[in-house]
Amino acid sequence: MGDTDAETGAGEDGRTAHVPVMLERIAELLRPALEEPGAVVVDGTLGLGGHAEALLRAHPGLRLVGIDRDTTALDRSRARLAPFADRVEFAHAEYDDLPGVLDGLGVPEAQAVLLDLGVSSPQLDEAGRGFAYSYDAPLDMRMDRTQGLTAEEVVNAYPAADLTRILRDYGEERFAGRIAQAIVRERAGAPITSTRRLADLVREAIPAATRRTGGNPAKRTFQALRIEVNGELSILERALPAAIDRLAVGGRIAVLSYHSLEDRMTKRALAARAKDTTPPDLPVPLPDRQPELRLLTRGGETPDEQESERNPRAASARLRAAERTRRR
């Protein structure tokens, strides 16, 4: 899980040549909530501000709270959203701290929350960030460069069993054990410090027949390390209930996921609040056990074929949304 817009073609001012992922559908899903007088939307993964800009343009009375852990992304979104400066608040924070950010601003509830969990284009495209296996760069992968843990530390310090677990669970890598053992052997001679060295090592550890299909064989390993370094799944697990709890009645949440682990967590979190939990042996539904949410999407919606062709990074996106129907 990343935490910013999966946009492409970013310029120095944060503007892009391509629209953010599923922009029109997200705007459509959030529109009824954002038309409320004095509406507040929280973009918990502000990134380059593409979704935020579109929502602010469409709703002249809207107030936006933009949260991001990446200071570079915040700087770029400030530039992009400068025309709306009087309606935007920025926060350098993890998005699971949404309640704390809103408390600090004196905002009791939000009419909408948007979470776009993709890695941003600056993170992928700037070689020095170490997210991409297509560049030779230091093994970093920190979304928040003020934090301590880096991918280099994970690769060189974690025991083989922990590396295997991370690659298997976060990367869904079939050859997790083989790759972990190869890493341990390699680092015994000298620390692994570059993305290219790690990518070559992963390629060599995977059977030749497998290397010929399915894209770059390092993709799953790099995803797994990124998730571990940034604590992405644990943050998402905390953020989803926190975001739902701060939604106003009639408020809406939209979540864009980019791999199955994120999508399953989102599906479970929304479905759990969309169920009547009255015990089945009772003859009438209990008022305090009625659903809090109404699901707005049937399963995880995907970009259309044209968008996926225009922006390949959108192809894996899954969108889920829900409306809050009552308080707990």
User: 41 versus 10: which is more confidently predicted?
Assistant: 41
Q: What is the CATH number of domain 23-122+232-324?
A: 3.40.50.150
Tell the burial category of 239 from Cβ atoms under 10 Å away from its Cβ (0-12, 13-18, 19+).
Answer: buried
Beta strands in the chain (DSSP E): 40-43, 63-68, 88-92, 110-116, 247-257, 293-295, 318-324
Binding residues for S-adenosyl-L-methionine: 49-51, 68, 95, 116, 123
Average pLDDT over residues 171-183: 96
**Nearest Cα residue to 136 out of 180, 216, 199:** 199
Look at residue 304 and tell me whether its pLDDT is greater than 90: yes
The predicted structure's pLDDT at residue 286: 82
> What is the distance between the terminal CA atoms of the chain, rounded to a whole angstrom?
29
Q: Which residues of 274-297 are buried (b: 16+ CB within 10 A; e: fewer)?
A: eeeeeeeeeeeeeeeeebbbebbb
Binding residues: 49-51, 68, 95, 116, 123
Strand 40-43 and strand 63-68: pairing?
parallel
**What is the per-residue pLDDT across 200-250, written as a single tens digit (0 to 9) for each?**
999 999 998 777 766 788 999 999 999 999 999 999 999 999 999 999 999
Look at residue 52 and tell me whether its pLDDT is greater than 90: yes
Q: Which CATH number fits domain 127-230: 3.20.20.70, 2.40.50.100, 1.10.150.170, 3.30.930.10?
A: 1.10.150.170
Look at residue 84 and tell me whether its pLDDT is greater than 90: yes
Q: Which two tokens stand for residue 73?
A: 């992304």
According to CATH, where is 1.10.150.170 located in the chain?
127-230
Integer Rg of the chain from CA: 21
Phi, psi of 246 (to 5 degrees): -95, 0
- Could you tell me the pTM of the whole model? 0.87
Cα separations (Å) of 254 from 38, 61, 66, 298?
A: 20, 20, 15, 13
Are 243 and 298 in contact, with CB atoms under 8 Å apart? no
Cα–Cα distance, 103 to 101 (Å, whole number): 5
Look at residue 6 and tell me whether its pLDDT is greater than 60: no
- The angle subtended at Cα 240 by Cα 171 and Cα 246, nearest 5°, is 160
Q: Which two tokens stand for residue 159?
A: 């025991």
Are 5 and 21 in contact, with CB atoms under 8 Å apart? yes
The predicted structure's pLDDT at residue 125: 60
The predicted structure's pLDDT at residue 285: 79
Are 194 and 137 in contact, with CB atoms under 8 Å apart? yes
The predicted structure's pLDDT at residue 165: 97
According to CATH, where is 3.40.50.150 located in the chain?
23-122+232-324
Average pLDDT over residues 50-58: 97
Average pLDDT over residues 46-66: 96
